[in-house]
């Protein structure tokens, strides 16, 4: 049965969604209309990839959370589906927060999400309670479980906070379902709780899988837990991070904890911790495993601290990154654009061993919907200090990517893109030294820039906030002569 609230959201999408088409990038997922944040329920269902997301159709601001819905066969072209969930039952009357999805043995798709209830206390303060709920459906329509919530405050370990208890990610291990859920502990910082179920409806608490102890931020949101190339990975999105070197920036971060997992005792042991994305606009990543064994990640290409930057009168706000393939190499998380995007490459332009000194441009190397690959190499015995690339350049506005060889750092910079918002526009991160050779792959889609360095060793996502869609020029610059190889494709998503 479709509730009145859900029908209202679907009617709204039907009526207004088409007007947002002029604002959309070519291959980055946006909501049908209104606001979106975290990816939810990123999963395989009946041979297709489904993606849900936090959604407020009625304005370009965050509001009572619904779940929006799209699906794809190749991670590039997405089909819009009607909104999947609305806050319309007692258990989720103040919002259907983030969660995940899985295909059940009987062919139905199960959504596990956080239901929110707010109450006004007698001293007038509003308190929010979060608990985990279930809905099942056929890939379009979902019925909420009558006994929701399925995991409530009564399941919490001692010190666990019922106000910050959200974002279940479900997975199967052996015969059982498990889910990891973000929680706040008595020291005020985050933890990830593990729950277990035989049928995905009746749950029991297993253990605290890992905890923050105020080291990496405070509340840990949107956990994900999966195996990758022989290791076990825990993703968390912490609030209130403090900077650590150039690895973690302040605010809302993305943390990848690499470790090992004992499936019998459900014990996770940390080995290494690194940032997931070194850019500006990235949060709440979620992954799925494809039938051919690839672990694919998608994230919200925004960050809470910059969400107020929006064009006047925009009908949509928020988008997703291009899905990325994850691998582990030498104990490090690598990310690369899904290989399917290469099917949309056209008009190849390539150059080899071009000498760059001062500033140069190259014929037909330009565009705003492109896959640009640049390898920089030292020339003869010259030791260059910096190499810089500008893009989305109209002479007045441009974004830059700069590599400094002495510190082995890359800087992304959108200061000159024309935004009048006083937000973070610059970010630096460390890349590995490789005798002055550095590789960039820039995936550009209108105002969406995703940079991959050294074959995916680092990724950095950032939005440009540039009004001029015709700002297409690309320049290359170095202080000393360097050689570059360039391969550029237009991406045509028909």
Residues forming the active site: 38
**Interaction between residue 464 and ligand FRU (CB under 6 A):** no
Residue 12 to residues 9, 142, 143, 417, Cα–Cα distance (Å): 5, 19, 21, 33
321 lies in the site for ligand FRU, by CB under 6 A: no
Told to check if 390 binds ligand FRU by CB under 6 A, we report no
Contact flags string 18-37 toward ligand FRU, x per CB under 6 A:
-------------------x
Q: Decide if residue 38 touches ligand FRU (CB under 6 A).
A: yes
Residue closer to ligand FRU (CB basis): 65 or 326: 65
Give the sign of the dihedral formed by CA 384, CA 386, CA 392, CA 396.
Answer: negative
| SS3 of residue 45 by DSSP | strand
**Of the candidates 53, 96, 85, 51, which has an alpha carbon nearest to the alpha carbon of residue 70?**
51
Count of CA atoms in the C-beta half-sphere (13 A) of 347: 12
88, 210, 221, 371: which one binds ligand FRU (CB under 6 A): 221
Told to check if 365 binds ligand FRU by CB under 6 A, we report: no
Cβ-closest residue to ligand FRU?
A: 97
Cβ neighbours of 345 (radius 10 Å): 15
CB of 65 to ligand FRU, least distance (A): 5
Please select the residue that binds ligand FRU; options are 114, 132, 183, 321, rule is CB under 6 A. Answer: 114
Choose, by CB under 6 A, the member of 36, 51, 65, 296 that binds ligand FRU: 65
First to last CA, the chain: 36
Nearest approach, Cβ of residue 113 and ligand FRU (Å): 8
Site map (CB under 6 A) of ligand FRU, residues 403-442, x = contact: ----------------------------------------
- Decide: 240 and 219 in contact? Cβ < 8 Å: yes
297 to 181, 334, 384: CA distances (angstroms): 18, 11, 35
Q: Please, which of residues 161-200 interact with ligand FRU by CB under 6 A?
A: 166-167
Between 160 and 337, CB nearer to ligand FRU: 160
Shortest approach of ligand FRU to residue 181 CB, angstroms?
10
Q: How many CB atoms lie within 10 A of CB 119?
A: 10
Whichever of 38 and 371 has its CB closer to ligand FRU, that residue is 38
Q: Which CB atom, from 305 or from 407, has the smaller least distance to ligand FRU?
A: 305
Between CA 491 and CA 344 the distance in angstroms is 5
Q: Does 322 bind ligand FRU (CB under 6 A)?
A: no
Three-state SS for 277-289 is CCCCCCEEEEEEE
60 makes contact with ligand FRU (CB under 6 A): no
478 binds ligand FRU (CB under 6 A): no
Out of 83, 222, 298, 478, point to the residue binding ligand FRU (CB under 6 A).
222
Q: Does 92 bind ligand FRU (CB under 6 A)?
A: no
Q: Is 224 in the site for ligand FRU (CB under 6 A)?
A: no
Rounded Cα distance, 390 and 453, in Å: 16
What is d(CA 282, CA 249) in angstroms, rounded to the nearest whole number?
12
Using CB under 6 A as the binding rule, whether residue 458 contacts ligand FRU is answered as: no
**Rounded distance between C-alpha atoms, residue 369 and residue 493, angstroms:** 9
Quick check: 129 and 69 in contact, CB under 8 A? Answer: no
Tell me: does residue 56 bind ligand FRU (CB under 6 A): no
> Is the CB of 58 or the CB of 386 nearer to ligand FRU?
58
Contact between 317 and 329 under an 8 Å Cβ cutoff? The reply is no
Contacts of ligand FRU in 263-292 (CB under 6 A): 283-284
Task: Retrieve residue 183's tokens.
Answer: 């929680």
Position 97 contacts ligand FRU (CB under 6 A):
yes
Closest distance to ligand FRU from the beta carbon of 380 (Å): 50
- Distance of alpha carbon 374 from the chain centroid: 24
The two most distant CA atoms of the chain are separated, in Å, by: 75
Among 98, 117, 148, 475, binds ligand FRU (CB under 6 A): 98
Report how far residue 466's alpha carbon sits from residue 329's, in angstroms, rounded to the nearest whole number.
35
Size of the site for ligand FRU (CB under 6 A): 13
Query: Which positions lie near ligand FRU, rule CB under 6 A?
Result: 37-38, 54, 65, 97-98, 114, 166-167, 221-222, 283-284
């Amino acid at each position: 049965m479709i509730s009145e609230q859900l029908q209202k959201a679907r009617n709204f999408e039907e009526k207004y969604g088409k007007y947002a088409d002029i604002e959309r990038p070519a291959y980055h997922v946006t909501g049908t209309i209104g606001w979106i944040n975290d990816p939810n329920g990123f999963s395989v269902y009946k041979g297709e990839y489904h993606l849900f997301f936090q959604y407020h159709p009625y304005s370009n601001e965050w509001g009572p959370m619904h779940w929006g819905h799209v699906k794809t066969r190749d991670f590039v072209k997405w089909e819009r589906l009607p909104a999947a969930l609305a806050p319309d039952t007692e258990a989720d009357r103040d919002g259907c927060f983030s969660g995940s999805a899985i295909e059940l043995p009987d062919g139905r798709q199960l959504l596990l999400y956080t239901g929110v209830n707010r109450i006004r206390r007698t001293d007038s303060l509003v308190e929010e309670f979060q608990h985990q709920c279930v809905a099942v459906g056929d890939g379009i329509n979902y019925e909420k479980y009558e006994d929701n919530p399925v995991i409530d405050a009564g399941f919490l370990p001692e010190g666990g906070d019922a106000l910050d208890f959200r974002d279940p990610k479900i997975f199967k291990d052996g015969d059982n379902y498990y889910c990891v859920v973000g929680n706040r502990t008595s020291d005020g910082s985050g933890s990830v709780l593990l729950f277990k179920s035989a049928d995905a409806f009746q749950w029991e608490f297993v253990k605290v899988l890992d905890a923050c102890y105020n080291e990496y931020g405070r509340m840990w949101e949107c956990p994900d837990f999966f195996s990758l190339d022989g290791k076990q990975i825990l993703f968390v999105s912490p609030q209130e991070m403090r900077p650590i070197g150039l690895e973690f920036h302040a605010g809302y971060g993305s943390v990848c904890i690499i470790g090992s997992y004992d499936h019998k005792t459900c014990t996770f042991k940390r080995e290494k911790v690194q940032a997931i994305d070194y850019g500006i606009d990235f949060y709440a990543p979620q992954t799925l495993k494809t039938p051919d064994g690839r672990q694919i990640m998608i994230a919200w290409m925004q960050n809470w601290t910059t969400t107020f930057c929006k064009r006047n009168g925009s009908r949509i706000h928020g988008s997703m990154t291009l899905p990325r393939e994850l691998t582990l190499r030498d104990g490090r998380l690598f990310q690369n654009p899904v290989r399917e995007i290469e099917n949309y490459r056209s008009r190849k332009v390539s150059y080899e061993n071009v000498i760059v000194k001062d500033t140069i441009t190259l014929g037909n190397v330009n565009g705003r919907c492109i896959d640009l690959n640049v390898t920089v190499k030292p020339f003869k015995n010259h030791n260059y200090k910096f190499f810089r690339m500008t893009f989305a350049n109209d002479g007045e506005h441009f974004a830059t990517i700069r590599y400094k060889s002495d510190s082995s750092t890359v800087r992304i910079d959108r200061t000159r893109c024309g935004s009048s918002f006083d937000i973070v526009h610059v970010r630096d991160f460390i890349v590995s030294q490789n005798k002055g050779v550095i590789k960039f792959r820039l995936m550009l889609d209108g105002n969406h820039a995703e940079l991959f360095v050294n074959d995916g060793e680092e990724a950095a996502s950032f939005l440009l906030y540039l009004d001029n869609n015709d700002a297409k020029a690309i320049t290359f610059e170095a202080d000393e002569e360097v050689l570059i190889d360039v391969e550029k494709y237009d991406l045509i998503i028909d």
